[in-house]
Amino acid sequence: MGLDRPLEVLTVCGVGMGSSLMLKMTAEQALQALGVDARVECTDVSTARGKQPDVVIGQDMHTSELPDLAPVTVTISDFLDAAGLETALREKFTAQGWLP
């Protein structure tokens, strides 16, 4: 799949209204830096299970519960590290053929 549509990105945490919202802001910053068109939504782990995103981002304690939800899963511990997230996303997007 190429990038012919905006990517659906989920940021996840336990409740879906605090940490994942912070991570959403960081993810939007990282995706913008990558020049990738994306729609980012924050949610809790249970709600995430009912969705079909392209990308899931969260802490290990949550992404490990969603192993097969998306073609790309990124596990990070620092939700404010946009540069680190950008690097991780670039690597995975390139492997998917979503970035050159």
**Binding stretches for another protein (CB under 8 A):** 13-15, 17-19, 21-23, 25-26, 29, 59-62, 77-82
Question: With respect to another protein, which residue has the nearer C-beta, 19 or 73?
Answer: 19
CB of 80 to another protein, least distance (A): 5
CB of 36 to another protein, least distance (A): 18
Question: With respect to another protein, which residue has the nearer C-beta, 17 or 95?
Answer: 17
Integer CA distances (angstroms), 70 to 49, 80, 83, in order: 10, 22, 22
Q: Where does residue 2 rank: exposed (0-12), middle (13-18), buried (19+ CB within 10 A)?
A: exposed
CB of 46 to another protein, least distance (A): 11
C-beta of residue 57 within 8 angstroms of C-beta of residue 27: yes
C-beta of residue 54 within 8 angstroms of C-beta of residue 37: no
